Chains A and B, each alone.
Chain A
Amino acid sequence: MNFLRKIQLAASIAAAAALSLAAPAQADPLKVGFIYVGPVSDFGWTYEHDQGRLAIESALGDAVETTYVESVPEGADAERVLTQLALAGNELIFATSFGFMDPVINVAQKFPNVKFEHATGYKRADNVSVYSARFYEGRAVIGTIAGHMTKTNIIGYVASYPIPEVVRGINSAYIHAKKVNPDVEFKVVWVYTWFDPAKEADAATALIDQGADIIMQHTDSPAAMSIAEEKGLFAFGQASDMKQFGPNARLSSIIDDWGPYYVERAKAVLDGTWESEDAWHGINEGMVGIGEFSDKIPADVQAEAQAIADAISAGEYHPFTGPINRQDGSPWLAEGETADDGTLLGMNFYVEGLEGEVPN
């Protein structure tokens, strides 16, 4: 019976595949599925991925049909939802959270004809691509702005979990703030959650009490921005622009702009040119967007920040360019040397000058 079922399943998949091959493209739109870890209304991480989904729809129109399932817990539920999306005829599936990694790999094995795109992971297969954004490039830009704009010389950082992605962001922001302001000091608070508005707000408040006059965040809700607005201080939008939460407080923002990549990948499937890739895109490819500069930033600072963004985009400047020492003073990058991606992807140390330790 088990064997029969398998055959049935295989037959139905084969039939679906045959149908999609046989039918002309116009009559049978490409179905693209999305699985989100949070609600599309979070105005942060998941919201931006959903904007990417909408970008596919507006760019490719009738040639595609997109669907999503939101707030899917990582683990068993994710594997089920992914399988169902594949069974429902989606030929391209975006899984937009690190924790969906093993489920994606498992389901991809069962559906060799379906293409999977997994955000921020590191496990690939013939039909599984991974993609992520070089957010540290954006951090370099806002770090520069923060270094100039702080009056107390204290910058507060609301951090989620001590993982390389977050540590990298802290390092990049610190290096560039320090470059323009040698007296600058970073205070980091780990909230151990991606999404808990009240806790994020409390963390921002605690940092402000410690003298921070600029707040950066690596969590998903706009709570920190709201607090900065209320206290008359500055903050940067994270993931989305967040201007509406801090019309006065927002200096700029790092915007996750998944649209260009999503459109490109959907097109590739339509053209039959899709291949498994390891994409790590930055400002240049448009995956990391720098939000409009607030007019509270002096013109010369705006120009400097823009120059850094342009240099990074043009490939003339790498945010991690030596000389940079590790926190304990041991050398990491020599003069002029730039960090390799492998080290960056596993970054679990602070650079010299940062106080505190990466929690373990």
Chain B
Amino acid sequence: MDWGSLNPLSLVATMVVASIPIMFAATGELVAEKSGVLNLGVEGMMITGAVAGFIAALETESQVAAIAAAAAAGSGISLFFGVLTQFLKSNQVATGLALTIFGLGVSALAGQNYTGQAPPQFSPPNFGPLGDIPILGQIVFGYDYLVYMAFLTVLGVWLFLNFSRAGLVLRAIGENHDAAHALGYKVTRVRLLAIMFGGATAGLGGAYLSLIRVPQWTEGMTAGAGWIALAIVVFGSWRPWRVMAGALLFGGVTLLQLNLQAVGLEINAAYLSMAPYAITILVLVAISARRSGKSADTPASLGKPFHSSA
């Protein structure tokens, strides 16, 4: 075993990279869940974004177009879920699962002619001399645009939920939609927008996979990342910064496991991979155990349908 060769700097950098897809997806799902909607279709939305971003990148060679296409596609496919659950009152759990099946199928169809190709390499932002700073240069200024977008999304969501009126309304709706409705808030409209936001960020997470982290398009390439994102929202107890930390942890555990193997440490991969989920359950228990203090982490209306009685 050779601990000396485990380079903490590049480990941090790759951990960040590994966490970006799930960070994007989890942040969007957080907003949807805060509005009271449980969308289990994250995997379907991610893979749709992955293929849309990839196709746009190949066709236009433009990074902006690829990012926009991924967000639009994720958002677009989330509308199936949104319309069904919000207007047609279908069950959220079942509809989310159907969205995953649909997304996996549609993405594979759309990407049929795009397998076996490499996407254009997009140059990362140039921070000039900042990038040459010894440590920070690598772990702060060494990433692609989408990485910074992911962190900005977390920041934006935090600001929105805590410091904006609209964010307050969204949380109120997630907490008690009947009361919010009585106050005149548009429950259905807000939730639909939240679902679309979740779709857009999931799409971006998928695009990060197909454009940068892997980079290629293959059918089914998200390989369960969407489900991990759902776990992270819970792990982060519906708070943006904790969700970000959760994404780093969940992404990091896999990576750490691979890196420990690379330095020659024998580890039991299966048991280590279980750990984050077990921790998530403990976090849930901790939240619910002190729930008497009413910190209102778990949105009270989560997953419950809203019937406007007026």
Contacts and interface: CB of A to CB of B under 8 A. Distances in A.
**Are A and B close enough to touch in the complex, i.e. CB under 8 Å?**
yes
Interface of A: 39, 41-43, 156, 187-193, 195-199, 201-203, 205-207, 209-211, 221-223, 226, 229-230, 244-245, 247, 355-357, 359
B213 interface: yes
A43 B116 contact: yes
Given A39-B108, A191-B258, A198 B118 contact: no
A189 B213 contact: no
A41 B261 contact: no
9 contacts: A39-B218, A42-B218, A195-B220, A206-B258, A206-B259, A209-B10, A222-B216, A244-B116, A245-B216
A202 B258 contact: yes
Given A41-B218, A359-B266, 20 more contacts: A41-B115, A42-B219, A156-B262, A190-B269, A195-B223, A197-B214, A197-B216, A197-B221, A197-B223, A198-B223, A202-B14, A202-B254, A205-B17, A209-B10, A209-B11, A209-B259, A210-B262, A221-B216, A355-B264, A356-B264
A199 B215 CA distance: 12
A209 B214 contact: no
Contacts of A201: 213-214
B287 interface: no
Interface string B127-154: 0000000000000000000000000000
Contacts of B209: 197-198
A192 B270 CA distance: 9
B214 A226 contact: yes
Nearest to B115: A41
Contacts of A191: 258
Interface of B: 5-7, 10-11, 14, 17-18, 21, 108, 111-112, 115-118, 121, 209, 213-216, 218-223, 225, 254-255, 258-259, 261-264, 266, 269-270
A357 B10 CA distance: 26
In order of increasing CB-CB distance, the 8 nearest A-B pairs are: A41-B115, A206-B258, A196-B223, A206-B259, A210-B262, A189-B261, A197-B214, A206-B262
A356 B260 CA distance: 12
Contact of B261 (A39, A190, A223): A190
A223 B262 contact: no
B78 to A, nearest CB: 22
Contact of B215 (A41, A192, A206, A226): A226
Contact of A192 (B10, B259, B269): B269
A190 B261 CA distance: 8
B147 to A, nearest CB: 15
Given A205-B14, A209-B11, A230-B215, A39 B258 contact: no
Contact of A207 (B11, B108, B262, B269): B262
A245 B118 contact: yes
Contact of A41 (B7, B112, B258): B112
A197 B213 CA distance: 9
Contact of B263 (A203, A210, A223, A244): A210
Given A39-B220, A156-B262, A223 B117 contact: no
A338 to B, nearest CB: 30
A244 B117 contact: yes
Nearest to A355: B264
Contacts of A245: 118, 216
B123 to A, nearest CB: 12
A223 B118 CA distance: 10
A187 B262 contact: yes
Contacts of A244: 116-118
Contacts of A210: 5-6, 259, 262-263
B223 A209 contact: no
B219 A39 contact: yes
Contacts of A192: 269-270
A319 to B, nearest CB: 25
A189 B262 CA distance: 6
A201 B112 CA distance: 22
B86 to A, nearest CB: 32
Contacts of B254: 199, 202
A210 B117 CA distance: 28
Nearest to B112: A41
Contact of A230 (B7, B121, B266, B269): B121
